Homo-oligomer: A and B are copies of this chain.
Amino acid sequence: MGMDGRDTPENAAATPSGATIEAWLDGLRGRLADDVRGAVADYIPELSRADADGLAICIATVDGQVYGVGDQAEPFTIQSVSKPFMYGYALREYGVDFTLGHVGVEPTGEAFNSIILDDVHNRPFNPMVNAGAIAVAELMKGATMAQRERNMRELFSQFAGRELSIDDSVYRSEHATGHRNRAIAYMMLNSGMIRRDPEDVLDLYFKQCAVSVTCRDLAVMAATLANDGANPLTGDKVLDPLAVRDVLTLMHSCGMYNYAGQWAYEVGVPAKSGVSGGVIAVIPGQLGIGVWSPRLDAHGNSVRGVEACKAVSSAFGLHVFNARPNVRAVIRREYRADKVASKRLRTPRERDLLAARGARVAVIEVQGELYFGSVERLLRRAAALAGETDRLILDFKRAQSADAAAIGLMRHMTEASTPGDASLILSHLTAEGPLAGLHAAMSEVSEALGTSRLALIEDADAALELSEDALLAAAPELRHGAKYALKELDLFQGLSEDDCRELEQIVQPMQFAAGETILRRGDPARALFVIARGSASVTVPREDGRVRRLACLGPGLSVGEMALLDGGARSADVVADEPVVAYALGVDRLRDLARTRPGILIAILENLSRELSSRLRLASDEIRALE
């Protein structure tokens, strides 16, 4: 499996890391169990019936691993933890500007159920206090109450990755006794902050607060925010990253009510608490945390929920201003064409030439997320290399994303290049997937500048081969595409005129059309071939049924030489890429000849050993260069 897979999502405890994290969480649970400060909310009877000693702590990673301890499956109503998700919905459906018209973004020193409103802007201060959440609840779409409720339930179900329902008795109880919220709603109607019937808006608000969740649900919902709005279990894209950013900002500044400043300082993670004892915390790019414990402190936050988040944040180093993007990792490795070759096999003279001049071609393997800091560093390195090279290949095979800043920087940099600069080749930039935006921008630039200055090539190996070809084409001392006479071939060097004449008797010139098979995998190996003109590929079938190209051969190169040594079966297919002329040399006939003229076989074996030895040395260099 790949590095990005989910190893054992179903049974975290079975893995050492799972056991480690859950053991740690369990230790934390044990310590917190002794903390009986605070009191269960009792403003409605249904909430006061919660198990005051209940406690669960869950962590969900952005790739769907869930760790949990305690009463993970115990249901409770989500209450105010619903607020950030509803705010995300408003941003998704209406955009920032419209939403800002209905609710502000300023923290307030007031309690969560404060009736004080922002008179200057005529809106509640922020969506994390009740007044703001009621304003947001008005924005739920749907022609009827039933439709709005369905839409709301669907939203929460998408965040949780399972179908959630409403706790009817809690809803009814809040509906019957929510006088303060009713007062807030009517105040807002009075000043025009809401427009619809307050009873109607409150009805949805009470239902949203009464959505029944478990602690595990909270962790997954938080992990959906941590994962840029995509549910890590289902892959559902619930919010776009920009909306997530705004939600997290408000959770960070207002999520813990009038405890927010201290929280940002000590715990330092975007969070939201609710009166039923739930707390979520979000570590962007890493994980979501859910805690449930019903006893509340004076601010209305779960006592143990706050303590659990403090401990997890501290032990795991999760404070938002701890998070350091690793700009250095954008360059996975770098190499030059004098040390690392494409899959095209070259003649000894070509190899010598590439070893001498290949440093003029550089490859940078790019990896990870492309954003301002990482692209700035990449382009700085590319610029340094541009002075030393003729061609620079940026291989995006392992790049995972490119944000607008990355695309803009790449665009500006390539547009600003001059004809004298190294020509730039971008490989593995695909028109679909996470790099589609970068692909589109670079295609445009390439069209404007011409492919000689900026080219997009699917595959890094093809880009390298092309760059090698360009280096070789510039070398007048090489004969390009020429047909080789037998005695000019490296394999037959050192033979006397006499030997050559003898050899010619047993050598058979052959022609192959493009696409024709020269050697077939599994066939008995009875002859070796030397290519005199054209090009052929050595391939083996891959597990997925497609074909893997191992090497590519041109004039002067031999193939199937193992026939000389053990005469077993062919280990790969060799197929003509274009019309090929080759010399076939039957091994049996060569051995017959060697009985009278051993010097021929000795010379051929020496040449073969020399060739293999030279290729082995190159391969060893390449292995070192790839480390």
Contacts and interface: CB of A to CB of B under 8 A. Distances in A.
Given A283-B373, A322-B371, A615-B616, A4 B328 contact: yes
A413 interface: yes
A105 B262 contact: yes
Contacts of A380: 7-8, 15, 17-18, 65
B405 A316 contact: yes
Interface in A367-421: 367-369, 371-373, 376-377, 379-384, 386, 400, 403-406, 408-409, 412-413, 416-417, 421
A250 interface: yes
Given A249-B268, A369-B324, A615-B616, A598 B602 contact: yes
A457 interface: no
A185 to B, nearest CB: 23
A550 B620 contact: yes
Contacts of A421: 16
A448 interface: no
B606 A373 contact: no
Interface of A: 1, 3-4, 7-8, 15-21, 23-24, 61-63, 65, 104-109, 126, 228, 241, 244-246, 248-250, 252-253, 260-262, 264-265, 268, 270, 283-287, 315-329, 331-332, 334, 367-369, 371-373, 376-377, 379-384, 386, 400, 403-406, 408-409, 412-413, 416-417, 421, 550, 561-562, 564-566, 594, 598-599, 601-602, 605-606, 608-610, 612-613, 615-616, 619-620, 622-623, 626-627
A107 B3 contact: no
The 4 A-B residue pairs with the shortest CB-CB distance in the complex, in nearest-first order: A17-B379, A598-B598, A285-B324, A286-B373
B253 A384 contact: no
Interface centre among A19, A264, A369, A627 (most CB of B within 10 A): A264
Contacts of A20: 379, 409, 412-413, 416
Contacts of A400: 326, 328
A7 B253 contact: no
Copies in the complex: 2
A620 B619 contact: yes
Contacts of A616: 612, 615-616, 619
Contacts of A373: 61-62, 283, 285-287
Nearest to A323: B325
Given A4-B328, A382-B17, A321 B265 contact: no
A107 B8 contact: no
A548 B103 CA distance: 66
Given A328-B368, A626-B627, A265 B105 contact: yes
A131 to B, nearest CB: 15
A285 B253 contact: no
B323 A323 contact: yes
Contacts of A403: 317, 322
Contacts of A260: 107, 253
A622 to B, nearest CB: 6
Contact of A332 (B332, B565, B599): B332
A377 to B, nearest CB: 8
Main secondary structure of the interface of A (DSSP, over half): helix
* A260, A323, A324 pick with most chain B CB within 10 angstroms: A324
A623 B341 CA distance: 11
A324 B228 contact: yes
Contacts of A1: 384
Contact of A623 (B250, B612, B619): B619
Nearest to A320: B320
A505 to B, nearest CB: 20
A399 to B, nearest CB: 11
Contact of A21 (B21, B376, B384, B622): B376
6 contacts: A1-B384, A3-B331, A61-B377, A107-B260, A249-B319, A285-B324
A615 B613 CA distance: 9
Contacts of A319: 245, 249
Given A285-B327, A421-B16, A249 B270 contact: no
Nearest to A259: B106
Given A626-B626, A626-B627, 8 more contacts: A3-B334, A4-B328, A17-B379, A104-B261, A287-B372, A315-B405, A315-B408, A328-B400
A227 to B, nearest CB: 9
Contacts of A245: 268, 319, 321-322
Q: Name the residue among A322, A612, A620 with the largest chain B CB count within 10 angstroms.
A: A322
A564 B609 contact: yes
